[in-house]
């Protein structure tokens, strides 16, 4: 069965500290993986995506993610967080075949400590 | 391009009333999705469509209906509104050809059933 797991419901980090948000997936075919961010009261915005090639992908706002096939993981990282990074972050696995659909994780809420 | 447009942005319904949430996209995407987002619960897929005339149930379809008569439009119908349907509803679209499976989201419809 297709699934995406984000084990951390809520994370608080200090401004300027590094960040890693975890994502594990289960998918029967070649996974297309995504990280989205949702600021309060807003829709979802794509941060980055991975289809193939280099397993370390760069996204917007200084975020990066690393695909590890052996661990079925796609963790999101940022070297130094800013107060404006406070938001909800969603990992998702996308369709490859015509019978598939996008599956989202339950999200991780990020709070920034001044 | 307007992207994905949802109307209305806000709505209050009384129990037992019906309404249709509108979703339109102008990107010629063949895939469209409806999600609901409840606090702390992430995104749950209600229905999705892989093309005009084709729809399929997601994780939480009960109490909802959809139709897809055109590529552009994917309305979501609530027939007998219940308090459990109080949520934020997001419509999304994608074009899952290799290298372009990113989902584009509307701004959401906040629905309250009282």
Beta-bridged to residue A46, according to DSSP, are: A36
d(CA B110, CA B95): 26
Min distance A96 CA to chain B CA atoms (Å) = 7
Nearest to B101 among A6, A32, A107 (CB): A32
Supply the DSSP symbol for A17: S
Task: Please report the residues numbered 60 through 89 in chain B whose beta carbons come closer than 8 angstroms to any beta carbon of chain A.
Answer: none
User: CB of A106 within 8 Å of any CB in chain B?
Assistant: yes
Min distance B93 CA to chain A CA atoms (Å) = 10
Output B84 or A30, whichever has higher pLDDT: B84
pLDDT for the residue numbered B102:
80
Farthest CA pair distance, chain B: 44
Over 70: is that where the pLDDT of A97 sits? Answer: no
Q: Which residue is closest to A2 within chain B, CA to CA?
A: B59
Over 80: is that where the pLDDT of B29 sits? Answer: yes
Non-local (6+) Cβ contacts of B32 within 8 A are: B23, B25, B48, B49, B68, B74, B91, B92, B93
Output phi, psi for B85, to 5 deg.
-90, 5
Q: Which one of A27, A53, A96, A104 makes the best mutation probe of the B interface by having the most chain B beta carbons within 10 Å? A: A104
What digits encode the pLDDT tens for the residues A80-89? 999 999 999 9
d(CA B34, CA B9): 15
d(CA B35, CA B38): 10
Average pLDDT over residues B37-53: 88
User: CB of A32 within 8 Å of any CB in chain B?
Assistant: yes
Residues from chain A that touch B105, judged by Cβ atoms under 8 A, are: 36, 43-45
What digits encode the pLDDT tens for the residues B50-70? 899 999 999 899 999 999 999
Token couple for B68: 């897809």
How would you label A48-57 residue by residue, b for 16+ Cβ within 10 Å and e otherwise? bbbbeeeeeb
Nearest to A98 among B43, B50, B90 (CB): B50
Task: Please report the residues numbered 56 through 95 in chain A whose beta carbons come closer than 8 angstroms to any beta carbon of chain B.
Answer: 90, 92, 94-95
Output phi, psi for A33, to 5 deg.
-115, 145
Average pLDDT over residues A60-70: 94
B42 and A107 within 8 Å at the Cβ level: the answer is yes
What digits encode the pLDDT tens for the residues A6-60? 999 999 999 999 999 999 998 877 788 999 999 888 889 999 999 888 899 999 9
Task: With beta carbons less than 8 A apart as the criterion, state whether B104 and B2 touch.
Answer: no
Q: What is the mean pLDDT of chain B?
A: 91
Min distance B13 CA to chain A CA atoms (Å) = 20
Average pLDDT over residues B16-40: 93
Over 70: is that where the pLDDT of A96 sits? Answer: no
pLDDT for the residue numbered A82:
96
């Amino acid at each position: 069965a297709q699934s995406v797991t984000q084990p951390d419901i809520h994370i608080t980090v200090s401004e300027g500290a590094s960040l890693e948000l975890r994502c594990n997936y289960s998918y029967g075919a070649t996974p297309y993986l995504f990280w989205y961010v949702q600021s309060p009261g807003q829709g979802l915005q794509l941060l980055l995506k991975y289809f193939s090639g280099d397993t370390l992908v760069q996204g917007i706002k200084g975020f990066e993610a690393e695909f590890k096939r052996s661990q079925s993981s796609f963790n999101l990282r940022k070297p130094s967080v800013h107060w404006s990074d406070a938001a909800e972050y969603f990992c998702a696995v996308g369709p490859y075949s015509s019978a598939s659909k996008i599956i989202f994780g339950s999200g991780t809420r990020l709070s920034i400590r001044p | 391009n307007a992207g994905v447009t949802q109307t209305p942005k806000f709505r209050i319904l009384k129990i037992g009333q019906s309404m249709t949430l509108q979703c339109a996209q102008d990107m010629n995407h063949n895939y469209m999705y409806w999600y609901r987002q409840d606090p702390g619960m992430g995104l749950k897929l209600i229905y999705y469509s892989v093309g005009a005339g084709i729809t399929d149930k997601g994780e939480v379809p009960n109490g909802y209906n959809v139709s897809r008569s055109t590529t552009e439009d994917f309305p979501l119908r609530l027939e007998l509104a219940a308090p459990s349907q109080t949520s934020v509803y997001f419509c999304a679209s994608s074009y899952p050809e290799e290298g372009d499976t990113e989902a584009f989201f509307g701004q959401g419809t906040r629905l309250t059933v009282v």
